[in-house]
Amino acid sequence: NAGVTQTPKFQVLKTGQSMTLQCAQDMNHEYMSWYRQDPGMGLRLIHYSVGAGITDQGEVPNGYNVSRSTTEDFPLRLLSAAPSQTSVYFCATSGTSAYEQYFGPGTRLTVT
Amino acid sequence: TQLLEQSPQFLSIQEGENLTVYCNSSSVFSSLQWYRQEPGEGPVLLVTVVTGGEVKKLKRLTFQFGDARKDSSLHITAAQPGDTGLYLCARFMPYNNNDMRFGAGTRLTVKP
């Protein structure tokens, strides 16, 4: 039982490149979300999903896309990376809502 | 705008000391969560408080939710080096577009 897994662990991109951060869970949770964590800012919600086929925007959605085709996976796409997207990204899941969330280990992204 | 204000931002104490950290807002919470995050890992949920005036204990950690549900505190008795980490409070508003907001955190260091 792996819980919440995220890949890659580290990534360096050049400005303008695209990439997908992967998130997978084996807890059969309906609610999944993506956060970014920056020094002094806490975690900020990017996008979330309440179930397969349903996604919505969080506090800071610009520059990011998501989709939810299965219960298990919730990838986060950066279409054209910018230095402002340098951050640590966390995926989280919850059984029915964001009430009690389980976080993955994070992806540290640097955009140069 | 930081909707959740945590204080202090940094705290460094000796093993065996007691400490209290705070989470405050001008808004009323429906519920509030406390997480602990260790370096290189995702946050881990410690507790959820729901009722105004509620007190919950988790071993040496005591969590209190203010009567007006606008503030919360975390008290640690006889701190140990294993308590070192970033303590985050978070509030979830399921009736406000599933909005989830975190404070910036209190970074605690307990020296042996």
User: What confidence tens digit (pLDDT) does each residue in A37-72 have?
Assistant: 998 788 999 999 989 999 999 989 999 999 999 999
- The whole-chain average pLDDT of chain A stands at 93
- For residues B4, A50, B97, B33, the Cα torsion angle rounded to the nearest 10 degrees is -20
CB-based contact A102 B31, cutoff 8 Å = no
Query: Do residues A111 and A13 make contact, with C-beta atoms less than 8 angstroms apart?
Result: yes
- Backbone φ and ψ for A100, nearest 5 degrees, come out as -135, 110
- The pLDDT of A75-97, averaged and rounded, is 93
Share of chain B above pLDDT 90, in %: 71
Question: Of B27, B20, B8, B22, whose CA–CA distance to B70 is shortest?
Answer: B27
CB-based contact B100 A56, cutoff 8 Å = no
- The pLDDT of B59-68, averaged and rounded, is 94
Query: Do residues B6 and B105 make contact, with C-beta atoms less than 8 angstroms apart?
Result: yes
Q: Is 60 exceeded by the pLDDT of residue B1?
A: no
CA distance B56 to B43: 19
CA distance A53 to A74: 10
* Band (B6; pLDDT cuts 50, 70, 90): very high
Kindly report whether the peptide bond that precedes residue A8 is cis, defined as omega within 30 degrees of 0. Answer: yes
pLDDT of residue A10: 97
3-state SS class at A34: strand
Q: Is 60 exceeded by the pLDDT of residue A98?
A: no
* Band (B94; pLDDT cuts 50, 70, 90): low
Half-sphere exposure of A69 (CA within 13 A, CB side): 2
Q: Which of B100, B101, B102, B107 to mutate to test the interface with A (most CBs of A within 10 A)?
A: B100
Q: Is 90 exceeded by the pLDDT of residue B61?
A: yes
Beta strands in B1-112, from DSSP E residues, in sequence order: 5-7, 10-14, 19-24, 32-37, 44-49, 55-58, 61-65, 71-76, 85-93, 99-102, 106-111
Nearest to A42 among B92, B94, B103 (CB): B103
For the stretch A13-36, pLDDT in tens is: 999 999 999 999 999 999 999 999
Query: Do residues B105 and B86 make contact, with C-beta atoms less than 8 angstroms apart?
Result: yes
Question: Of B45, B43, B37, B3, whose CA–CA distance to B23 is shortest?
Answer: B3
CB-based contact A48 B33, cutoff 8 Å = no
pLDDT of residue A53: 94
